[in-house]
Amino acid sequence: MRTIDFAPLYRSTVGFDRLFAKLDTLAQPGAAETYPPYNIERTGENAYRVTLAVAGFSDSELQIELREGVLTVKGEKAEDADAGKSEVLYRGIAGRSFERRFQLADHVEVQGASLKNGLLHVDLARIIPEALKPRKIDIAVVGNENKQIEATAA
């Protein structure tokens, strides 16, 4: 039974969910996800990019979904019609189905995705609403009138 709840920490992370997921799965070492490998890059002050190595998958076999702050990337390999014609002696390129989830921080939105050279790039941007942005407050000076004190010479 797990006694530590990492859920509040997930809300303030982009990509660090892997660290907390590893802590969650320490009790279950066989449940760790390692496929497909991925990178998380910071491309600007409020811009991020998640890159997954999805060699052998076409864009029609990949699905990206954002629901309630969780980015889910799924890949389901279609049955290959030419698979019966040849015999594979060594399989080093994985073609298995996968589902990879990323917990996004508050106010992070998906800007777009692209597939190039076997790499799926998902661009993210942190868009902070105006109400939450820091703003400068002017200080009004009240009751500080210039008073002149008259003094007489002794």
- Distances 75 to 101, 128, 144 between C-alpha atoms, Å: 12, 31, 69
Q: Is the per-residue pLDDT at 32 higher than 90?
A: no
Confirm whether pTM is higher than 0.85.
no
Question: Cα 16 vs. chain centroid, distance in angstroms?
Answer: 8
The domain locations on the chain are: 7-79+92-128
Give the model's pLDDT for residue 48.
Answer: 93
How does residue 16 score in pLDDT terms, banded at 50, 70 and 90? low
Q: What is the dihedral of CA 8, 13, 18, 24, to 10 degrees?
A: -10
Question: Is the pLDDT assigned to residue 114 strictly greater than 90?
Answer: yes
Say if residue 30's pLDDT is above 60: no
Give the number of other CB atoms < 10 A from CB of residue 17: 21
pLDDT of residue 73 exceeding 60? yes
DSSP-based three-state secondary structure for 122: strand
Q: How confident is the model at residue 122 (pLDDT cuts 50, 70, 90)?
A: very high
Tell me how far apart the alpha carbons of residues 54 and 120 are, in angstroms, rounded to a whole number. Answer: 7
From the candidate CATH numbers 3.40.50.920, 2.60.120.260, 2.40.30.10, 2.60.40.790, the one assigned to the domain spanning 7-79+92-128: 2.60.40.790
How do residues 79-101 score in pLDDT, each as one tens digit? Answer: 766 666 788 888 887 778 899 99
pLDDT of residue 134: 82
Over residues 17-23, mean pLDDT: 60
